[in-house]
Each structure stands twice: as structure tokens, then as C-alpha cells.
Chains A and B, each alone.
Chain A
Amino acid sequence: MLELKNVRYTYPGTDQPILKNLNFEVADKRIGLIGANGSGKTTLFHLLIGLLNPDEGELLLHGQPVTTKETLRALRKEVGFLFQSSDDQLFSPTVIEDVAFGPLNLGFPPEEAREIAVKTLHNLGLTGFEERITHRLSGGEKKLVALATILSMQPKILLLDEPTNNLDPKTRSRLIDILKGLDQHQIIISHDWDFLSHTTTILYEIAHGHIHRCEEDHVHVHRHVHKAGDHPHHHQHSS
């Protein structure tokens, strides 16, 4: 449904492209995306949602190139993007206003927008958060509210940029449950292998400007006990 075709992207003021000859299609339901810091994962998301324009190649939604303002609007209605930093995502004074912001912009009358917002918060277990001040929430609460602001627009695809950053184990497993329960297509950037093994079925890696699909057996759960075993870690003797 969403596809990047032969895309090359170079940040202005730099001479090396971050991504080149990139082909990527959101075909599967649960896609994990890994890659070293600075490899271009966030850049790929920005290209997928039209925040950045490729030097070459094109962005297709349902096979149609996204070029005009209208197609861009349609794209952004279908695709929700959870930022790496929730502080950049929440801008209204209260939680309810922030969650209702999207529906209001989509043309829902205020009463309906409020209803949608309340329902979305309820589904995420955030009932009672409506009148809380967004900038006084904890990091984990901010992340969940940020997710609510996106889900309230009822997108079909979710782009999640390092959603487990700064989450404690409890909130993290709550997020896993939430994501598993959602019907949307999901592409998740994460350095948290265990999280990816729970939430995704297919893994892509970005390296040296290219994206490639990882081996099927790359995603696996390893159950064993050691200190901080639930944190992302590498094994000395790899399988």
C-alpha cells in the first residue's frame, strides 16, 4: 500500500546520500527496522510520510505517486508517525486537546472529536488523563499519550520510531500488549531486539545506505537468565 521506489536521499549541505537505490514496500503487517545510530532509519520514516522529498525516485500510496497537497493529506491521514521524542509531538496544553487535535483537523465537529479522544485514551488505559497538562507527564506517560494522538486519527499504518526508549519494563510490556492488540500495519524502529521479537514478524536492516531483509530466523526469543537479561544484548557465539 505504501512504497518507496528507487529512492535516493541526500541531506542539504552534505554530499554523501544517506539512502540510495532504496526500494521498500509496506506489504507485511509487522515490520521491524534495525540499523546502527545514524544509519538513516528516522530519515526513511520522514521519506515515507513525505516530510522529506527524495532527490530521485518516488513515494507511492496505493500505487499512486504522492506529489500534490491533496495526496499528501491523504497519505498523512492513513499513516501515523510516532516521533522518537514525545516532547516534539505533544503541543497542546491538555491531553484531551492534543488527542482531539487530529480529529478536529480531519473535520470532525468538536463534540465528536472529544468523544473519539476519550475513547482512544480509554483503549490505551489512559482514562482520567484528559485534563492532565501534557508537559508535566512522565516520559512513559508522554509516549502513550503521543500514541493516542496518532491513533485518534485512525490511521492504517503506524510508523513507530524507537517506541521503547526510556520506558521502564512495566510500561514497555504494556506497550507490547497495546501494539499486539492493534489492527494497523506497523513498522517499528528499535534497538530493542526482545521488543521486536514480540511485536514484529519480519525484520529489515539499514546499513551503508541500503535496506535489506534479514534472515527469517533472525527474530527469535531467547529465554535465559542473566543480569538485565531483558535488555537488548548481543551473544558472543552467534547462532
Chain B
Amino acid sequence: MMDEHFASGNSQLHRRNPKVKIIVAIAFITVVAVTNNFTVATVALIAAVLLISFAHLAPGSVAKRLLAVNSFIVFLWLTLPLTYGGEQTIRFGSIALSQEGIHIATLITLKANAIILALIALLGTSTIAHLGHALDSLGLSKRLCFLLLFSYRYIFVIHNEYKKLSRALKIRCFVPATNIHTYRTYGYLFGMTLVRSWNRASRVHQAMLLRGFNGQLIPLDTKTINRNDYFFLATSLLLTFVLAILPLF
């Protein structure tokens, strides 16, 4: 039910302690998120690509995630160059493209892809139970950990219920059109998805309670921090720091 297929693997990154990976991810993402520097964004993307190659993940699955993110970015490319304005423009006949707009769209593209790749490489390679446990031992409040774990957990439940219902529509030859029947059907579909997910979620929660669950997910194999983890942490933080001060050179 829980889709964690990036988490199964035995690469160097899979074997790193989740706590260490969370710290590195936070540092890297913070640096990339706040930068306005073109070089920093480019180097960050290269670093992220390198990182993901260490994780030995199926390229197809990674590409699919990237496609999802970049389909949003397409909208930026459609709007920013046309609307951003600014002094310098590039003219194509009657269309004026803002150079600053293009610059910003490029920067966002680089940053978004670097961040998503780093997230997949660092956090995708641990199971949610391990990450939750790591966050907990890093001092995040128990309630927040719980909330995080379960929102992740139930997104799949909701998605599954939605898939089941829309399959039921399809086998009864439902073809969407712009009419009241379609809107009403979509209304039902939406409503039923929520109701059924709610019911299912509470049944799963009951199953967990019956098995002694008391608010804390305990991972089956405890991860200890070893020398490789310290090495990875030190190198990654150093490189991230270099990335951050790159504009000073």
C-alpha cells in the first residue's frame, strides 16, 4: 500500500543513516533555495545529479518524478518571459521577451530540479518509518512526526480509492462532457473518494491500535551512525558550505 520503491536498494546512499541524510538535505536545500546566483544553482544541479547517480535508482522512475515537477515549470516559461518586463528585451517581431524573465525562469528551473533530485537521493532512499524515527531523534515534536508520517501514508490510500472509483466509472462507459451529468458525477466521485478514504483510514488505524500501536513507529532495524556516515556528513556539509560561499570568489 505504501509506495516506497526508491527506498529499497543497497547503494551507498541507501546505507547512510537517515539522520545524517536529513541534516545534509536540510543544509543543501536551504542553500539552493535562497540563492540568486546562477553559478551556485548550476553547480548545485550538477551535485544533485552526481548524488542521484550514487543512489543507483531506476532512471525511468526518477525521470517520471522530474517530469511531474517540470510540467509546473513549463507554466513559468510560458508566463515569466512575456510578463516580467524589465529593461532588456529580446524582440521576435511583435513579441517582446523579457531577458530578466528568462533569467529568472532558468534559475527557478535549475533550483527546482536540483532540490527535487537531492530530495529523492537523500530522503527517498530511506523508508518513511526510518525518516520518522530520525526526525524524532533529531528533536522534532512527536505530534509533528506523527502528522508527517500519516499524511504521507494516507495520500496513497486516497489515491487508491480514487483510482478504484474512477475505474468503476470507466467500466460503466462514463465519458466526461460539459454537462450537468458530468459535473454531478465528478461531485460524487470527489465526495465518495473522501468518505471512503476516511473510512479506510480509520479501519487501518484500528488495525494498528489492536496491534499495540501507541503513536510511535518503531523501525525494524535500528540504524546506528558509523564512520562512513560521519565521513559522508562532514564531506557533504563542507561541499554545501563551499557552494554557499561560491559567489564570494
Write the nearest CB–CB distance from B202 to chain A, whole angstroms.
9
Does the CB pair A93–B127 fall under 8 Å?
yes
B248 within 8 A of A: no
Judged by a CB distance under 8 angstroms, whether A169 is at the interface is no
Q: Which of A134-169 contact B (CB under 8 A)?
A: 134-135, 149-150, 153
Task: Tell whether A204 is near chain B: CB-to-CB under 8 Å.
Answer: no
User: Cβ of A153 and Cβ of B4 under 8 Å apart?
Assistant: no
Q: Which of B153, B203, B212 contacts A102 (CB 8 A)?
A: B212
* Interface SS of chain A: helix
Q: Which of A29-37, A75-83, A224-232 lies at the binding interface? A: A75-83
Q: How far is the CA of A76 from the CA of B206 in the complex (A)?
A: 11
Check A83 against B129 for contact (C-beta < 8 Å).
Answer: no
Give the distance to chain A from B126, nearest Cβ to Cβ, in Å: 12
Interface residues in chain A, defined as those with a beta carbon under 8 Å from any beta carbon in chain B: 49, 51, 73, 76-77, 80-81, 83, 85, 87-93, 96-97, 100-102, 104-106, 110, 113-114, 134-135, 149-150, 153
17 contacts between A and B (CB under 8 A): A51-B206, A51-B209, A76-B211, A88-B203, A89-B207, A91-B1, A92-B2, A93-B2, A93-B4, A93-B7, A96-B220, A97-B129, A100-B220, A104-B220, A105-B213, A135-B2, A153-B211
Q: Which of B203, B209, B219 contacts A83 (CB 8 A)?
A: B203
Residues on B with beta carbons closer than 8 Å to the beta carbon of A49:
210
Considering the chains assembled together, what is the distance between the CA atoms of A88 and B1 in angstroms?
10
The residues of B that contact A134 with a CB separation of less than 8 Å are: 1
Closest to B206 in A: A51
With known contacts A88-B200, A93-B127, A76–B209 Cβ distance under 8 A = yes
Task: Contact check, B211 vs A102: say whether CB atoms are below 8 A apart.
Answer: yes
Interchain nearest-CB distance for B5 vs A (Å): 9
Q: Which residues of A contact B220 (CB under 8 A)?
A: 96-97, 100, 104, 110, 113-114
Of the residues B1, B200, B203, B211, contact of A149 by C-beta under 8 Å: B211
Q: What separation, in Å, do the CA atoms of A134 and B3 have in the docked complex?
A: 10
Taking the closest CB of chain B, its distance from the CB of A97, in whole angstroms, is: 5
Q: Is the CB of A81 within 8 A of B1?
A: no
Contact A51–B213 (Cβ < 8 Å): no
Q: B210, B221, B222: which contacts A76 (Cβ < 8 A)?
A: B210
- Contacts from B to A (Cβ < 8 Å): 1-2, 4, 7, 127, 129, 153, 200, 203-204, 206-214, 218-222
- With a cutoff of 8 Å between Cβ atoms, the chain A residues found around residue B200 in the complex are 88
Q: Known contacts A91-B2, A134-B1; is A104 also within 8 Å of B207 by CB? A: no
Our pick among B1, B207, B214 for the contact of A135 (Cβ within 8 Å) is: B1
Complex Cα distance, B212 from A149, in Å, reads: 12
Q: Which residue of B lies closest to A153 (CB)?
A: B211
What separation, in Å, do the CA atoms of A91 and B211 have in the docked complex? 12
User: Which residues in A have their C-beta under 8 angstroms from that of B2?
Assistant: 91-93, 135
**Contact residues in B for A83 (Cβ distance below 8 Å):** 203, 207
Q: How far is the CA of A106 from the CA of B204 in the complex (A)?
A: 18
CA distance in complex: A89, B1 (Å):
11
A121 to chain B, nearest CB (A): 14
B129 to chain A, nearest CB (A): 7
- Name the residue among B200, B207, B214 with the largest chain A CB count within 10 angstroms: B207
Residue in chain A with minimal CB distance to B214: A105
A residues near B208, Cβ cutoff 8 Å: 91, 101
Q: Is A51's CB under 8 angstroms from B210's CB?
A: yes
- Give the residue of B127, B203, B211, B221 whose beta carbon is less than 8 angstroms from that of A105: B211
A143 to chain B: closest CB distance in Å? Answer: 14
What's the least CB distance linking A12 to chain B, in Å?
Answer: 14
Of A73, A81, A89, A92, the residue contacting B212 (CB under 8 A) is A73
Q: Please give the distance in Å from A198's CB to the nearest CB on chain B.
A: 26
> How far does the alpha carbon of A204 sit from the alpha carbon of B1 in the complex, in Å?
36
Smallest CB gap from A136: residue in B: B1
